[in-house]
Every structure is written in C-alpha cells, then in structure tokens.
Amino acid sequence: MDGLLDRRLIFVTGKGGVGKTTVAAALAIAAHRAGRRTLVCEVADQERLAAAFGLPAAGFREVEVERGLNAFSVNPEDAIQEWLRYQLRSRTLAGLLGGSRVFQYLATAAPGLAEMVTIGKVWELAQLQRKTPGSAPYDLVIVDAPATGHGIALLGAPRTFGEIARVGPVHRQARIVDAFVRDPETTAVVAVALAEEMPVTETLELERRVATELDARLARVFANALLPDRLSGSEAGALEAALADGPSDGARAALTASLAAHQTARAQRSQLGRLKRGLDAPVTTLPHLLTHDVGRDGLDRLAAKLGRDL
C-alpha cells in the first residue's frame, strides 16, 4: 500500500505496554519473508527482542536469528565508545578518552548525547555503505523504540544536538542523521496502539507531537490485540434472553463471560473507529493472540497477517 517495507528504517513507538516489541518483531519477520535483508534493533538495554525470538540476549552486535534476519541491541555506553573510535580513528585514543573522567562528566553533561549516539548507531546500521568493518548492508532496519515521550526525544536528538553543537563534525553528523530520520522516503515512524480509551487518546496525541515536535508524520498505526467478537447483535440478544430464563449457575457464568467478551470486543471496535477517524495515518489491525507469551508461533501468525495487509 504505502510501501512500508520498502523504507530503509522503521521506527516503532507507542504507549508503554501496547506490544511494541511484538509488532517490531512481527514486522521484521514479514519483511524478511518479503525478501528483505532485515535487522531488528532494540534500544536502551531492553533485551526483550531476543527473548521474543527465543534467543539469548543479542548485545551490541548483529546476531543472526535466521539467514537474512538479524537482531541487535543498542546501549549508549557501547555506542559512545564506537562513536569515539570513528571520530578519532584510533582505538587507543578512544579507550583513553572514553575512560577519562573528563569525558565521563562531559558525556553526562552533554544532554541528549546518549540519545544522539543511539540514533546515530541506528542510522549507521541502516546505511548501504556500512562503517562497521566486515558488515553487510541491510535492506531494512526496524527499531523497537522507547515509549512515546522517550521515543520522540530519541528521534529529535539529532536536531537538538545539531543546535547545541553549532559547528564542527558533531553538527555535520547530527544534520545528516536528522535528515535521514525525518525523510519519509527513507524512514517511517509507526505507532502501536491498543483499542482502548487512553491508548487511543495518547496515539492521537502522538501523531500531533510527531508533527509539531519533529516536523514529521506517522506513516502507519498498528491497532494491536483486537479481540474476536463471536456474537452478532441478535445472538447477544439470545444470550441475554437465556440469562433471564433462570439458567443454572454454571450456564449463567458461561453466558455472562461470553456477553462480557462481546461487550469488550464491541468497545474495542468503537475505540478503533475513534482511532481511525482521529488519525491522518492509516491503521492496520492485529488480532489478540489470546495467550500471554506470544512466542515464535504467535509472531509468525502476526507476520503472516502483516504480509497480507502491507
């Protein structure tokens, strides 16, 4: 539709607890199945992604999930070290500087440095000409980003950093990264939402913040964990009539549970409608897997749905 999987970078954000990691992993599988050499990447010491694939923690390196599908975990400490090595073109000098107290104070002082080197590493991973020696380029990098506020701070870091460092190499690099992450041809910012009152409200707000604070737009919203609605209106009526008929306790409990599931599903549909009406971005729905631990099977199911819809 909008060629989401044809971008170079997909940045997955949204409110906490809505399933960002799951959606990022499922998107990665879908892209991989569509023939893209894909890297899925998490930030800020999460190590949830590897667990989603049933793998040991990836760490600050490209770990193969399967051929053509890799995982990576960016942490600011390693990203700063790597950045210094490129900057100074000397491992010894970088080690000296990175280990010095002066630098550590400065690194804490320079606000947004952690965000800047993190998004800088993400940018590097998404380049066709990789800087990391011996590394192959990816067609697509998918980032399991932090929740709304921190996610925006991460995307905005190059711009704010470029303003702090008004001249010099940091300024130039920040500009390059900023241009890449805010170009809709190369980068898609997508959000994951649940079809509930507050997550919908926050997603609508997120779209506005992406526009005003980043001067960018949301490419797509994934409405996650939609429950099945098994009953038609007249069937729900039949259940209510049966309930009024004085059933046994067991039947009453079953009827009540089924009606509650129906009501929850209906409420979700209504919130989904509100989401769609309020957003400029298109919405893709994903089903509730009706299980706690999504697992590789669950990811594959979601990826298959995404493969059909995207």
Partner 1 sequence: MSGGPLDAVLAGREVIVCAGSGGVGKTTTAAAVAAGLAAGGRRTIVLTIDPARRLAESLGLPDAGNEEIRVAEDRLAAAGLAGSGELWAMTLDAKLTFDELVARTAPDAETRDTVLANPIYRQLSGALAGSQEYMAMEKLYELHAGGRYDALVLDTPPSRNALDFLDAPGRLSRFIDSRSLQLFRNSGRAGLGIFGRGAGAVMAVLERATGVDLLRDLAEFFNAFGGMAEGFGDRARTVEALLASELATFLLVTSPRAAAIADAAFFHGKLDEAGMPFGAMVVNRVREPVAAAHGEAVSKELTALLGESLARKVARDVADRDRLAARDAANIERMRAELGGAPLVAVPELPGDVHDLAGLGVVARLLLDVG
Q: What are the Cα distances from residue 258, in Å, to 159, 230, 254, 277, 278?
A: 51, 9, 6, 29, 30
Between 1 and 290, name the residue whose CB sits nearer to partner 1. Answer: 290
Between 44 and 55, name the residue whose CB sits nearer to partner 1. Answer: 44
| Among the residue ranges 3-11, 124-132, 176-184, 244-252, the one whose residues contact partner 1 (CB under 8 A) | 244-252
Between 34 and 165, name the residue whose CB sits nearer to partner 1. Answer: 165
Residue type, 248: S
Would you give the binding string for partner 1 spanning residues 264-283, x where CB under 8 A is met? x--x----------------
Of 106, 131, 183, 240, the residue at the interface with partner 1 (CB under 8 A) is 106
Crossing angle (nearest 10°) for helices 295-309 and 20-33: 60
CA atoms within 13 A on the CB side of 293: 7
Closest to 98 in 3D by CA, of 86, 84, 111: 84
Distance CA 157, CA 151 (A): 10
* Site for partner 1 contains 128 (CB under 8 A): no
- Interface size with partner 1, residues (CB under 8 A): 80
Sign of CA dihedral 280, 202, 39, 156: positive
Of 66, 134, 248, 277, the residue at the interface with partner 1 (CB under 8 A) is 248
* Site for partner 1 contains 169 (CB under 8 A): yes
Of 226, 258, 278, 287, the residue at the interface with partner 1 (CB under 8 A) is 258
* Site for partner 1 contains 164 (CB under 8 A): yes
| Among the residue ranges 1-9, 24-32, 63-71, 237-245, the one whose residues contact partner 1 (CB under 8 A) | 237-245
Site for partner 1 in 16-35 (CB under 8 A): 16-18, 21
How far, rounded to the nearest angstrom, does the alpha carbon of residue 203 sit from its chain's CA centroid? 13
Would you give the binding string for partner 1 spanning residues 52-81, x where CB under 8 A is met? ------------------------------
Sign of CA dihedral 86, 92, 97, 101: positive
Closest distance of CB 69 from partner 1, Å = 22
Of 35, 61, 77, 96, the residue at the interface with partner 1 (CB under 8 A) is 96
Residue type, 8: R
Closest distance of CB 109 from partner 1, Å = 6
Closest distance of CB 98 from partner 1, Å = 10
Site for partner 1 in 191-220 (CB under 8 A): 196-198, 201-202, 205
Give the ranges where the chain is alpha helix by DSSP (H). 20-33, 49-52, 76-88, 91-99, 101-109, 113-125, 148-164, 168-181, 197-214, 233-244, 249-278, 295-309
Of 38, 70, 75, 148, the residue at the interface with partner 1 (CB under 8 A) is 148
Distance CA 227, CA 200 (A): 16
